[in-house]
Amino acid sequence: MEKRSGKTSYRQILAAVVCLFVGASACQSDNDAEADYHYHPDSTDWDTVENLVTADFRSLEQAGMEITNLFPDLSAASETMIAQIQAPEQAVLPLRSDEDNEGNVYIRNSNENTVDVYSAEGAHLYSVGSPELLLGFTLSPDYQTLYVMDINNTEVFKRNGGEFESYDSFFHGLRFATGICASNDAVFMSGQGLMPEAAQSVMNQESSVEDHNEFQGPVTVYSRDDYEFERTFGRAIESQFERAASSAWLSESHLACFPEQDTIVTFNKHFGQADAYRLDGERLWSLNLENFAGVRFRESREFQLAPLPEDSDRTYMHSLSAVTDQPYAVLGFMHTSQGSSDQPITVKSVLLDIRDGSMMELTRDQDLVTSLSSSSAVIQRFTEDGNIEVYLNR
């Protein structure tokens, strides 16, 4: 797909979102900046990181037959289109899809703030949603509970017969909420977490999130029994000037849970860095993707955080999901060329082995694989008019 010169670019959308959430001061021009800068991500001393895995993003090996035979045929001949979604909302909010034990497919429609449910044959069955901006969703391991995350709350739906119905909700107290997944005992969400007292203060409108200058890690854990806050953990990229909001933005991470393997994987949204943990927060391995042209941010004393000018190509972490019943995650990346608005957006789907951090590229030209199981795959395709078509492969 080629980007049209009259259409808002992905990077312009990203910059606008940065300005919206981090603060208007982040939108000042280069001429307003002081000499005291700090550029992110920080140059991590990878020599000090235990159980480090290194991969070259530009030359990932394609998945061999012993891997691809685990999954359905990903060729266009086996696909059925099940949905069309308008852009540009999805450029910022990546399509999220999942599948339950009956073969039903769940797709987030950010334009309608709904999770749309489709049958195994691709027919739309019903939708559930949130009254606010819907950021993500996840199914519980037993497929009996659906958690839908919006900008303030997590809506809880319980299965009643063949459909999910509204059951409860809880205030998650997160800023920059990005991802959500669940184990048998807990719900994991990524974002800037608040301690229980601060979250209650915000919920009671006694203060705002901005009043609480704390950031302890990108993953916040809640009990599935009573939705109470339990702890935070994960790789935090610190603000050079001790701004919690900047640290939270820099540390934004996608999540995928693997309860059977007692593992959760986090992948930084902006940079080529991933980590695997046990569900109790113990780190298993870390991944550094070399030659990953991630987003670079500049921070100064005068203003908080802003992407650097359009002077190079950029790669964005677009989606991360657990492969059903397999020790793999499927990752989606988008690459934009900043030199010209006529340059195409390219995409790459990658398999990540959660046991050791090894990565293999899936052969699917210009389409993103957003969920995968041993019997099906959900494919996201960008059209020439900037919209998104969703296909089901079986």
DSSP states of 208-260 as a string?
-GGG------SEEEEETTT--EEEEES-----TT--HHHHHHHT-EEEEEEGG
Tokens describing residue 35: 């000499």
Domain assignment present for 1: no
pLDDT given for residue 3 in this prediction: 29
Q: Is the pLDDT assigned to residue 382 strictly greater than 50?
A: yes
Q: How many CB atoms lie within 10 A of CB 17?
A: 15
Q: 């993103």: which residue's tokens?
A: 368
Q: What is the CATH number of the domain that holds 223?
A: 2.120.10.30
Of the pLDDT bands very low, low, confident and very high (cuts 50, 70, 90), residue 19 is very low
Percent residues over pLDDT 70 in the chain: 71
Domain assignment present for 72: yes
Tokens describing residue 193: 């977490």
Tokens describing residue 383: 């059209």
Helix or strand run (H / E) with residue 89: helix 89-92
Domain assignment present for 124: yes
Q: How do strand 283-290 and strand 52-56 relate by DSSP bridges?
A: parallel
Q: Which domain holds residue 257?
A: 10-393
Q: State how many domains the chain has.
A: 1
Domain assignment present for 282: yes
| Cα 291 from Cα 175, distance rounded (Å) | 30
Domain assignment present for 2: no
Q: 């398999």: which residue's tokens?
A: 351
| Cα 348 from Cα 380, distance rounded (Å) | 11
| Cα 162 from Cα 125, distance rounded (Å) | 10
Kindly report the pTM of this predicted structure.
0.82
Domain assignment present for 310: yes
Rounded to an integer, the average pLDDT of 182-207 is 77
Of the pLDDT bands very low, low, confident and very high (cuts 50, 70, 90), residue 194 is low
Domain assignment present for 5: no
Of the pLDDT bands very low, low, confident and very high (cuts 50, 70, 90), residue 168 is very high
pLDDT given for residue 16 in this prediction: 43
> Which residues are registered as beta bridge partners of 315?
335
Domain assignment present for 3: no
